[in-house]
């Protein structure tokens, strides 16, 4: 038999799956009544299982008229956001190469796209202006993010 945290998580995931918008708004009292649990158990599940690292954002307001708004964040967007944060003027070529391999290994880009990005990266590293290199590298990964 599943524990109460698993039941709460399953309930929320079912509600999310039923929504086309990747967003659901729930009330703690409704969940607690349906699953027969304490609202604090719901808070625990929200804090541990619906995190940004797992691809969710949670907005919560307690009290009368309170709600829980859970949004599923596309993992690709989070990955590209993290990549953009890693790109600075001092990023070594090998780091960019490992980023491209990561994207390829996780099927976020194709072999052809990886080859094009690596060619672009090679050209970018011939740029003596470090700020311009940074902007160029960020631009290529922003473009990949927009098309993913």
Residues in Cβ contact with 55 at an 8 Å cutoff, skipping those fewer than 6 apart? 72, 73, 74, 75, 78
- 16 and 53 assigned to the same domain: yes
3-state secondary structure of 68: strand
Distances (CA, A) of 101 to 61, 75, 105, 148: 41, 17, 6, 16
Q: Among 72, 89, 104, identify where a domain stops.
A: 72
For position 65, what pLDDT does the model report? 67
**133, 127 in Cβ contact below 8 A?**
yes
Please give the sequence-ordered ranges of beta strands (E in DSSP) within the chain, or none if there are none: 23-26, 56-61, 67-72
Q: Which domain holds residue 124?
A: 75-147
- 29 and 82 assigned to the same domain: no
For position 2, what pLDDT does the model report? 64
3-state secondary structure of 139: helix
For position 130, what pLDDT does the model report? 95
- Residue 61, pLDDT > 70, answer yes
Please give the model's pTM, rounded to 2 decimal places.
0.56
Domain count for the chain: 2
Indicate which CATH number applies to the domain containing 117: 1.10.1200
- 98 and 123 assigned to the same domain: yes
Indicate which CATH number applies to the domain containing 10: 3.30.56.130
Q: Residues 77-134: pLDDT tens digits?
A: 778 889 999 999 999 999 999 999 999 998 889 999 999 999 999 999 998 999 999 9
Mean pLDDT of 48-54: 86
Q: Residues 1-23: pLDDT tens digits?
A: 469 999 999 999 999 988 888 89
- Residue 64, pLDDT > 80, answer no
């Amino acid at each position: 038999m599943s524990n109460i945290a698993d039941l709460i998580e399953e309930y929320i995931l079912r509600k999310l799956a039923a929504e086309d918008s990747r967003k659901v708004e729930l009330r703690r009292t409704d969940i607690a009544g349906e699953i027969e649990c304490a609202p604090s158990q719901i808070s625990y599940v929200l804090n541990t299982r619906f995190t940004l690292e797992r691809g969710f954002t949670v907005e919560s307001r307690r009290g009368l008229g309170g709600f829980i708004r859970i949004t599923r964040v596309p993992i690709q967007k989070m990955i590209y956001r993290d990549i953009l944060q890693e790109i600075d003027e001092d990023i070594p070529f090998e780091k960019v190469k490992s980023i491209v391999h990561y994207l390829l290994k996780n099927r976020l880009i194709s072999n052809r796209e990886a080859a094009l990005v690596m060619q672009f990266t090679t050209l970018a590293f011939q740029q003596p202006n470090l700020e311009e290199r940074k902007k160029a590298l960020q631009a290529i990964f922003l473009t990949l993010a927009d098309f993913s």
